[in-house]
Chains A and B, each alone.
Chain A
Amino acid sequence: MISSDSKPTFKYLSVASERFQQDEAPNMFFGLKFSFARGWLLPVLCVAAAVCPTSAEAQVGVKAGLVVPIVGEPIENGVILIRDGKIEAVGKDLKIPVDYKVVQAEDGVVMPGIVDPHSSAGMSQANEQNSNVPFLSVVDSIDPSSPYFEQCRRNGVTTSAVVPGNSTMIGGRSAVLKTAGGYVNDMLLVRDAGLKISLRPIRGSRMSHLARLRRELDVAKRSIEEELAAEKKKEDEEKAAEKKASEKSKDDEKKDADKKDDGKKEPAKGDDSKDDKKEEGDEKKGDDKPEEEEAESLRQLKRLLRGEQEAFVYCDAPMDVAQALTLSRQYGFQAKLVVDADCYKAAKLMADADTTVILDPNLVFWESDPRTREDKKVVVTKVLDDAGVEFVFQANLGSSPQSIGSGYFWFQAATAISYGMDRNEALERLTLTPAKLLGVDEFVGSIEAGKDADLVIYSGDPLKIDTWVLKTMVAGEVVYDRDKDDKLKRLLEEPQS
C-alpha cells in the first residue's frame, strides 16, 4: 500500500534531479582540470586540458637550504625540479636544466603547502537561514578574492577544504580548493568533497534536532529501499516475460524485446548516467523550485547513504560524538568528525572509532567542575594523543580568532609540540594527514615526484617564532611573495601617519 503510494513521487523526484544535473553540467566542464579525484570524469580529462590551457607553466628548479618533504628524511641543500606544475624530482645533487627558472631559497626551508582540513571562511556566508540545504554547494559561494585565501597564501596554506558552517543542520556540499586562482573553477581540486551535517541544535532542543536529522536520512533510506525493491520487481517481471517469450514464436519475441528496452530506461533514472536525461529534464521546465530543491536534497542524501559522498559531521558537545558515530553506523555513511574543544571528553569513543578528527582551533583551555568547582587546564592535543586519537588542526584563518596565534597553523603545531607532541608528527598533521583525510594525498601533502608543486619557502624553521613565509607556490607558480606583501609591511613597519 505504502510503496504503491510513494512510487509515483519517487519517479517524479528522480526526473527533477536529473534536470538539476543537466544544469550543473556547464560548470563541471570548467572544473574538470582539477577533478581528477572523480574517476568517472577521467575520460573527459584530455578534452579539459585542451580547453583550459594553464597559464604559462614554466619549468622551475627550487634550490633550498633544507627540504622537509614530510615523506622521507629532510634534505640539506636540496633541489626540487618542477615541470608543468608537478614535482618532477627531489634530491640533493640534482642538476637544474638550463631552461628551468631558478627559485633561490638557499637560506630557506621548503615544506609542502599546508592543508586546511575545514574552513568556512572562504565562502561568503557560512550558514543558511534554512537549516536543511543539502542541495547547495559551497562552490557557488566561494569568493577567490576573499581575504581568507589571501591569508592562506600569506601563511603557507595551499589547499583548503571549504565546508559549510557549523550552524546549519545539513549545510550543503563542501569543496577542496587550491588557495590561488581568480576563478573558483580554476581552484577546485575536488568539487564534491562531502556533505556538511551539524549536530548543533539551532532552533529547538537537541532531541528535536536529531529527530529532524533522522527523519531526513530516513526518507533517503526509504527511497533507496523502494528503488531497490522496484528494480527487483522489474527484474522479476522481466524474467517472467523472458520465460513467456521463449515459449512464443519468433515474431512475437521481437516485439517483446522492444518493450524491454523501454522498461530498462526507467530504473536507470536514479543513476548518474546523464546521456538520456536531457530530454526529459527539458520537458519538466515549468516545475516549482521548492520541489526541485527537495528532489536534489533527496538525491544528495541518497548519494551519502550509498557511499558516493562522505560527510563532515560537526560535534558541538561530547555527547554528539556518540550520536555522530551512531548515525554513521546506522545509516551506513562515512563521517569525518569536526569536534568542538569540549569533545576531548569523548576521546575514547573517537579512539575506538579509529577515525581522524578535525580539532577546534582552541587547543588549550580551562574549565571548572560544575560540582566541586575545581579548576582544570585541558590540553586537547595531549588528551587525544594519550587516548590514541588521530587528529588534524584547525586554525582561525580569516575569521576572528581568540588570539592572534590560533589563527595560524604553525602556531597550533608549535603549541601541541610544547605539550609533548613529536615534531615530525606535528608537521605531518599540517600537511599529509589532512590531505589523506580529504582524499587528496595523491596530489598534495608532501614533496614527492608526481605530486602538485605546492611548496612553501620559509625563512627558517617553520615553527620558530620569528620565521615567516617568504614565498608560496601553487602548481609551480609563485602565488605569494613576502617582498611584495604591502599589507604585511604596513602591519610590521613604520606606519605612515
Chain B
Amino acid sequence: MKRDFKFIGRIVRPIVAVIACFMASHAVTSAESVLIEAEYVHTMNGKTLSPGMVLITDGKIAQVADAIAVSPKPKVIKVHSVMPGMVNAQSTAGLVGSGGEASREVTPEFDTFGMIDFDSRDFREAVDGGETTVHIMPSTDNVIAGWTCVLKTAGSDPEARSVVQRKGVALSMCSDPAGRNRSRSRPDSIYVRQPTNRMGVVWIMRNQLQRAKYPSQGEAGSATGPLAEVLAEKTHAFGVSRTGFDIQTMLTIAEEFDFKPIIVGGHEAYDVLDELSQAGSSVIYSAVQASVNGSEGSELFWSTPTRLRESEIPFCIAGDGLLERMRLAVRFGLTADEAMSSVTADAANLLGISDSVGKIAVGCDADLIGFSGPPTEMTSALQWVMVGGEPVVGQEVAK
C-alpha cells in the first residue's frame, strides 16, 4: 500500500541486526558493542524499564532488558533516562534557498532530497535538540510542491543518512500559494498567474488531481506521476492545512478523489475533530506555540494534542524546537508518556518508518537520547545524542 523508496540495505540491515542480536544474546564479543545502563528506559514500545539496559551492536539495538549480562563487558554509558531519538515529522532542515520552486505552481516531480545541504547547520541544531530523524517538506508556496524525504540528522555519508528519499507528495491546501502571485502587474513577471486567492488554490489542486485521475491522451504521463501514486494510495499525501476551514477543504477534496491525506499543521484541528475522525485522517500537529494566533490568523488552543488524543485521531507533534514542544505538551495536558510517544513512535508510525526508528526495540536503529533527569522536564539536560550507535552530541559523556 505504501511504497517507501528504500535502499536495499535498509531492508537487509534489520535482518542482519536480528541475526546479530540473536548472537549477541548468547555471547557478545564484538568490540562495537555499547551497553546503556539507565534508571529509566523509555522504550516507546509499550513499557518503561526502570531500571533498564540497552545493548547496541553495529549501530543497531541488539537487546533491551532489565539487566543484560555480556562478557567481556562492553563500554558502558550510565544515564538517568534514555528514550528514542525524536522524529520530527515536519522539518525544513537543510533546505537550500526558499525550499520551493518558483517557476510553476504545480511541481509534483520536484524532489526535496535533491536540494538538501547535508552540511547545513540546521542538522546540527536538530540533532543537538534531540531530533535524530527528520521528515523534510518543501515550502508551501506551491499548490503541489513535490516529494518529501526522510533523513537522519547525523552521519558523514548523505546516502547513508537517507531513510526514505521519496516519502510522499506535499500539497498546500492553504492560502500560502496565493501569497506571491498577483492578477495585475507587469505582464513580464512569472507571478502574474493563478492562484491569487484561496479558491484558486482549490481550483488548481482539484484540476491537477482530475488530470491524474482521468489522464487525457495528450497527458498520458500523468497517470504515472506522483499524484497518480497518491490516488492509487501507493504513497502518502501530506496536506498542509492549518485553519479548520482549510482542513475541511482538504478532507472534502480527498473524499472526492478517494485518498487519505495526512494533515500537516493542523492548528485548528480541535475544531474539525469529527471530520478528521470520519475521514480516518491523521495529523502532524505543528502549531506555532509562541503567539495567541498562528499563521493565517488561526486560533490556537494549547490543548489541541489532548483533544486529538481523546478523539483517537492518530497524531504526532512536529516542528522546530521539538524538545520544547514535547515538554510543553505535558504542561498542556498530555501525560509524559504520551508526549514522548508523540515525538517518537507516533511520528514514526505516521510516516511508516516505525520498523527502524521511533522506539527502543531489538532491530531498530540505535538512535537514542540520554537525559540527566525525566525527559519531559525543562530542568533535565539532554546529555548525549546517538545516531546509528554513534555519539554525535555530548561525546565526552557518552564515551
Chain A residues with CB under 8 Å of B124's CB are: 366, 375
Most A-side CB within 10 Å, residue of B289, B331, B378? B378
Residue interface mask A403-433, B partner, CB < 8 A = 1 = 1110100010011011110010000000000
Interface presence of B5 (CB below 8 A): no
Residue interface mask B330-343, A partner, CB < 8 A = 1 = 11110000000000
Main secondary structure of the interface of B (DSSP, over half): loop
Interface presence of B303 (CB below 8 A): yes
- Which residues of A in the span 328-366 have a Cβ within 8 Å of any Cβ on B? 366
Chain B residues with CB under 8 Å of A417's CB are: 378-379
Interface presence of A261 (CB below 8 A): no
Interface presence of B13 (CB below 8 A): no
- The answer to whether residues A418 and B301 also contact, given A403-B290, A405-B328, A494-B307 and a CB cut-off of 8 A, is no
Interface presence of B128 (CB below 8 A): yes
- The reply to whether A497 and B321 contact each other, CB–CB distance below 8 Å, is no
Chain B residues with CB under 8 Å of A400's CB are: 290-291
Interface presence of A463 (CB below 8 A): yes
CB of A329 to closest CB in B, whole Å: 39
Q: In the complex, A84→B378 CA distance in Å?
A: 37
Interface presence of B75 (CB below 8 A): no
Q: In the complex, A368→B307 CA distance in Å?
A: 40
Interface presence of B377 (CB below 8 A): yes
- The reply to whether A404 and B328 contact each other, CB–CB distance below 8 Å, is yes
- The reply to whether A418 and B121 contact each other, CB–CB distance below 8 Å, is no
Chain B residues with CB under 8 Å of A466's CB are: 330-331
CB of A234 to closest CB in B, whole Å: 61
CB of B370 to closest CB in A, whole Å: 13
- The reply to whether A415 and B333 contact each other, CB–CB distance below 8 Å, is no
CB of B373 to closest CB in A, whole Å: 8
Q: Which residue of A lies closest to B373 (CB)?
A: A418
Chain A residues with CB under 8 Å of B378's CB are: 405, 411, 414-415, 417-418, 463, 465
Interface presence of A239 (CB below 8 A): no
- The answer to whether residues A495 and B301 also contact, given A377-B128, A415-B378 and a CB cut-off of 8 A, is yes
Interface presence of A464 (CB below 8 A): yes
CB of B96 to closest CB in A, whole Å: 15
Interface presence of A493 (CB below 8 A): yes
For A418, give its contact among B270, B302, B331, B379 (CB under 8 Å).
B379
Chain A residues with CB under 8 Å of B328's CB are: 404-405, 465
For B290, give its contact among A366, A402, A415, A494 (CB under 8 Å).
A402
- The reply to whether A464 and B377 contact each other, CB–CB distance below 8 Å, is yes
- The reply to whether B271 and A403 contact each other, CB–CB distance below 8 Å, is no
Q: Which residue of B lies closest to A367 (CB)?
A: B121
For B324, give its contact among A377, A405, A492 (CB under 8 Å).
A405
Q: In the complex, A463→B380 CA distance in Å?
A: 11
- Which residues of A in the span 412-457 have a Cβ within 8 Å of any Cβ on B? 414-415, 417-420, 423
- The reply to whether A465 and B331 contact each other, CB–CB distance below 8 Å, is yes
- The reply to whether B271 and A495 contact each other, CB–CB distance below 8 Å, is yes
Question: How many residues of A are in contact with the other chain, CB < 8 A?
Answer: 30
For A404, give its contact among B125, B271, B289, B330 (CB under 8 Å).
B289
Chain A residues with CB under 8 Å of B381's CB are: 418-420
Interface presence of B180 (CB below 8 A): no
Interface presence of B327 (CB below 8 A): yes
- The reply to whether A497 and B270 contact each other, CB–CB distance below 8 Å, is yes
Q: In the complex, A418→B372 CA distance in Å?
A: 8
Interface presence of A401 (CB below 8 A): yes
Chain A residues with CB under 8 Å of B128's CB are: 377
Q: How many A-B residue pairs have CB under 8 A?
A: 76
Q: In the complex, A411→B290 CA distance in Å?
A: 14
Chain A residues with CB under 8 Å of B125's CB are: 366, 375, 377
Q: Which residue of A lies closest to B273 (CB)?
A: A497
CB of B338 to closest CB in A, whole Å: 13
Interface presence of B376 (CB below 8 A): yes
For A465, give its contact among B271, B291, B300, B330 (CB under 8 Å).
B330
- The reply to whether A418 and B289 contact each other, CB–CB distance below 8 Å, is no
Q: In the complex, A423→B271 CA distance in Å?
A: 41
Chain A residues with CB under 8 Å of B324's CB are: 403-405
Residue interface mask A466-497, B partner, CB < 8 A = 1 = 10000000000000000000000011111101
- The answer to whether residues A418 and B380 also contact, given A404-B290, A491-B302, A497-B271 and a CB cut-off of 8 A, is yes
Chain B residues with CB under 8 Å of A463's CB are: 378-379
Most B-side CB within 10 Å, residue of A402, A415, A492? A492
Chain B residues with CB under 8 Å of A492's CB are: 301-303, 332-333
Q: In the complex, A497→B372 CA distance in Å?
A: 41
Chain B residues with CB under 8 Å of A368's CB are: 121
- Which residues of B in the span 203-225 have a Cβ within 8 Å of any Cβ on A? none
Q: In the complex, A244→B318 CA distance in Å?
A: 90
Q: In the complex, A491→B331 CA distance in Å?
A: 12
Q: Which residue of A lies closest to B332 (CB)?
A: A492
Q: In the complex, A491→B121 CA distance in Å?
A: 34
Q: In the complex, A368→B124 CA distance in Å?
A: 12
CB of B317 to closest CB in A, whole Å: 13
CB of A463 to closest CB in B, whole Å: 5
- The reply to whether B291 and A366 contact each other, CB–CB distance below 8 Å, is no
Chain A residues with CB under 8 Å of B321's CB are: 403
- The answer to whether residues A366 and B121 also contact, given A403-B290, A405-B378 and a CB cut-off of 8 A, is yes
CB of B307 to closest CB in A, whole Å: 7
Q: In the complex, A465→B307 CA distance in Å?
A: 20
CB of B130 to closest CB in A, whole Å: 12
Q: Which residue of A lies closest to B307 (CB)?
A: A494
Q: In the complex, A203→B128 CA distance in Å?
A: 38
- Which residues of B in the span 295-323 have a Cβ within 8 Å of any Cβ on A? 299-303, 307, 321
CB of A18 to closest CB in B, whole Å: 47
- Which residues of B in the span 373-399 have a Cβ within 8 Å of any Cβ on A? 376-382
For B270, give its contact among A366, A407, A495 (CB under 8 Å).
A495
Q: Which residue of B lies closest to A488 (CB)?
A: B302
Q: In the complex, A417→B378 CA distance in Å?
A: 8
Q: Which residue of B lies closest to A491 (CB)?
A: B302
Chain A residues with CB under 8 Å of B333's CB are: 492
CB of A124 to closest CB in B, whole Å: 19
Chain A residues with CB under 8 Å of B372's CB are: 418
Q: In the complex, A411→B270 CA distance in Å?
A: 27
List residues of B whose CB falls within 8 A of some A CB: 121, 124-125, 128, 270-271, 289-291, 299-303, 307, 321, 324, 327-328, 330-333, 372, 376-382
The 7 closest A-B pairs by CB, nearest first: A414-B378, A404-B289, A375-B121, A418-B381, A417-B379, A414-B379, A491-B302
16 A–B contacts from the bound complex (CB under 8 Å): A366-B125, A377-B128, A400-B291, A401-B290, A402-B290, A403-B289, A404-B324, A405-B328, A405-B378, A414-B378, A423-B379, A491-B303, A492-B333, A493-B303, A495-B271, A495-B301
In addition to A403-B290, A405-B328, A466-B330, 12 A-B residue pairs with Cβ atoms within 8 Å of each other are A368-B121, A375-B125, A377-B128, A400-B291, A403-B289, A411-B378, A417-B378, A418-B380, A463-B379, A490-B301, A494-B270, A497-B271
